[in-house]
Amino acid sequence: MRIATWNVNSVRARAERIGAWLERSDADVLAIQELKCKDAQMPVAIFEERGYEVAYHGLNQWNGVAIASRVGLADVQLGFENVPGFGDDDAVEARAINADCGGVRVHSLYVPNGRELDHPHYDYKLRWLSALRDDVTAQLAGDPKAKLVLCGDFNVAPHDEDVWDMEAFAGCTHVSQPERDAFQALLDAGLTDVARPFTPGPGVYTYWDYQKLRFPKKEGMRIDFQLASAALAEAATGAFIDREERKGKGASDHAPVVVDYAL
């Protein structure tokens, strides 16, 4: 089974590219982040015309997550246990969706950015990751042999080699120790970063800012991951980051992360 994750940075703006990518990538499941649309605006046809079922969760022009699958899509759930909200009304945002895809529990996650170290969004990010860890811990405690994978934009660069220049990130989010500790807590809960052994760094990134010619300068970040449970991680046979999809007109600022599992 080939599972991919991709922050598309607007599913409507990228619809044609997503369809073309699905055709050439041979992905069985695609976890999508940053839809930037309401449910009623979701371009469902680009998936269904290619044989994919799609489940999605979008509330407004921000955030939004989806899962497209051609190997089955069942028991769709939005969010996760005790997912925190943000803002004066503590609203739960459209940042998490999960479903059973051919016997694998696939989560599509768009972790909060954090914005700045002293911003309320940073505390929200840490609380969100903590609740996610608790949910994963409970899932695996209930079924240690469960095949599940957390796919998405984690907005954390867990190692120094995951950014192009640590000095440029001094005092910034994404590389702070509390964020890295929160990411490590997911691994400690029983998950494995399955793509990294097949795509070792340094200099291997999944995101390049649109500004300051970051992509041609190779100044990126590794913040998109697939974190798999032990039962699924042992089935991983290969992985790649489709850097080519970051090129050309109308590209997302993220590249797809693709992992093959022998199931």
Q: What percent of the chain has pLDDT over 70?
A: 100
What is the distance between the alpha carbons of residues 246 and 209, in angstroms, rounded to a whole number?
11
Nearest 5°: phi and psi at 237? -115, -10
Give the model confidence (pLDDT) of 117-139 as tens digits.
999 999 999 999 999 999 999 99
Q: What percent of the chain has pLDDT over 90?
A: 100
pLDDT at 108: 99
| Predicted confidence band of residue 173 (pLDDT cuts 50, 70, 90) | very high
pLDDT at 36: 98
The two structure tokens encoding residue 72: 């089955």
| Predicted confidence band of residue 255 (pLDDT cuts 50, 70, 90) | very high
> Mean pLDDT of all residues in the chain?
98
Q: What is the CA radius of gyration of the chain?
A: 17
**Residues annotated as binding site for Mg(2+)?**
7, 34, 153, 155, 253-254
pLDDT at 14: 97
| Predicted confidence band of residue 59 (pLDDT cuts 50, 70, 90) | very high
pLDDT at 53: 98
Give the model confidence (pLDDT) of 84-116 as tens digits.
999 999 999 999 999 999 999 999 999 999 999
* Count of the separate structural domains present in the chain: 1
pLDDT at 171: 96
Q: Which CATH number characterizes residue 69's domain?
A: 3.60.10.10
- Residue 113 belongs to domain spanning: 2-261
pLDDT at 16: 96
141 contacts: CB under 8 Å, gap ≥ 6: none
Give the model confidence (pLDDT) of 196-252 as tens digits.
999 999 999 999 999 999 999 999 999 999 999 999 999 999 999 999 999 999 999
List the catalytic residues.
110, 153, 254
pLDDT at 194: 98
